[in-house]
Amino acid sequence: MRTPEAPTVAAAYANAVISNGAAPEGDAPDPAGAGDGDARGQEDADARGQEGADVRGQQGAGVRADARVYEGGAWASSAERLPFSEVRRVWDRVLGPTEQPHTGLRIGYALQPSALHVLGHLVLTCTSLAEAAAQAVRYLPLVSEAGALRLERGARRSRLVYRPSVPEGAMHPQQVEAVVAASVTAARWIAGRRWAPAAVAFTHARIGDLAPYERILRCPVSFGAERNTVTVATPELDLVRGPGDPELAALHRAHADRLLSGLAAPVTVRQRVRGWLDQAPLDRVGPEDVQEALHLSERTLRRLLREEGTCWSDLLDAARHDRARRLLASTDRTLERIAHELGLSGAPAFVRAFTRWEGTTPGSYRRGLTAP
């Protein structure tokens, strides 16, 4: 089982992004039927006009043309999870080289419950924003282990805090904006599409104009803050919004708890690098290649590997060892050719390395595999 993105959720989310590649085409979704009776006001009309502009052109076409990449396999499996690097790859395709501002914000705005899998269904059974926040805090790992939510209650104001858990710089700021905007959208499923928090804050600098942030979130928005937060008046948080369905909620919670208990431990950076090296061409690979694939800076990669008791050269050496054994066992390639495929200078260097690894020469190892 791979981590850390849930495949059903990741696939639904990625395919929604790929198919839309854009802002919503109308009002923010109100799947709970909890509209507040003023769904067609001027403010919503303005939002439809401003946020309905499709992110098309070269970026959108490229993403939609790649949609088939995210169909089938681990993306469609309910028994596997995807590494964060795969999900980040989707975002890189969606944002494109220009990294168009407000894309993540609009994706969060257009969120549908199905994109959150069982968590989305749980939120729809909640009778208050406090109850929905509690479910999100507990079950967010079913959606993503790239970050964590925490609810901080105060007498007058409370804050939902989002903290990325991946290495610094690995998560694009627009991914954070999508999470925060999605939190506001999910609250509107319960409180009505015109609901707005008291304030929203992001740790990163503003990306593009301020107006789209204020139109979508409908509250003061600040940047360069210490934490990513959605601030809500505590009485609003606790206000009961509807009768709810306790039996259905209990069924969803039981299912979510089963899924939660089956999650694998997070994959270490060492495991991610080794997994990447297993598929890489070892004759022309360097640390800069894996840094790009895992979205880590050289300094961060070196630090994380050191904290896990290893380093790039040790992992590359182990990958060469494994690759050498496979090639000796499954092919009749010469030692010189294998040496070059491993990124070694020639057959003598390969013999020295293999003898260090196995205590015997490559030729003896190969003969032993075919001995009766």
The answer for residues whose C-beta is within 8 angstroms of residue 254's C-beta and 6 or more apart is: none
Spell out, as residue ranges, where the chain has pLDDT lower than 50: 1-12, 18-29, 32-80
Read off the pTM: 0.65
Check residue 242 and give its pLDDT. 81
Q: Are residues 249 and 310 in the same domain?
A: no
Q: Are residues 243 and 292 in the same domain?
A: no
- Domain end marker among 214, 240, 261: 261
Domain count, the chain: 2
Asked if residue 2 belongs to a domain, the reply is no
Q: Are residues 123 and 157 in the same domain?
A: yes
Return phi, psi of residue 326, to 5°: -65, -45
Are residues 101 and 114 in contact, defined by beta-carbon separation less than 8 angstroms?
no
Peptide bond into 4 cis (omega under 30): yes
CATH of the domain at 360: 1.10.10.60
Check residue 90 and give its pLDDT. 83
- Domain end marker among 243, 261, 279: 261
Q: Are residues 186 and 309 in the same domain?
A: no
Check residue 92 and give its pLDDT. 84
Q: How far apart are CA 84 and CA 146, in angstroms?
A: 7
Q: Are residues 71 and 206 in the same domain?
A: yes
Are residues 205 and 223 in contact, defined by beta-carbon separation less than 8 angstroms?
yes
Check residue 81 and give its pLDDT. 53
Q: Quick one: three-class SS letters along the chain?
A: CCCCECHHHHHHHHHHHHHHCCCCCCCCCCCCCCCCCCCCCHHHHHHHHHHCCCCCHHHHHHHHHCHHHHCCHHHHCCCCCECHHHHHHHHHHHHCCCCCCCHHHHHHHCCCHHHHCHHHHHHHCCCCHHHHHHHHHHHHHHCECCEEEEEECCCCEEEEEEEECCCCCCCCHHHHHHHHHHHHHHHHHHHCCCCCCCEEECCCCCCCCCHHHHHHHCCCEECCCCCEEEEEEHHHHHCCCCCCCHHHHHHHHHHHHHHHHCCCCCCCHHHHHHHHHHHCCHHHCCHHHHHHHHCCCHHHHHHHHHHCCCCHHHHHHHHHHHHHHHHHHHCCCCHHHHHHHCCCCCHHHHHHHHHHHHCCCHHHHHHHHHCC
As a whole number, the mean pLDDT across the chain is 80
Check residue 316 and give its pLDDT. 95
Check residue 168 and give its pLDDT. 75
Q: Are residues 233 and 349 in the same domain?
A: no
Q: Are residues 129 and 196 in the same domain?
A: yes
Q: How many CB atoms lie within 10 A of CB 247?
A: 9
Q: Look up the domain containing 79 and give its range.
A: 7-261
Whole-angstrom CA distances from 277 to 301, 312, 328, 358 are 14, 10, 18, 20
- Domain end marker among 240, 261, 282: 261
In the β-sheet with 147-152, what is the strand arrangement from edge to edge? 147-152, 157-164, 228-233, 199-201, 221-222
The answer for residues whose C-beta is within 8 angstroms of residue 26's C-beta and 6 or more apart is: 48, 52
Check residue 202 and give its pLDDT. 97
Check residue 254 and give its pLDDT. 93
Q: Are residues 277 and 179 in the same domain?
A: no
Over residues 29-40, the pLDDT tens digits come to: 455 444 444 433
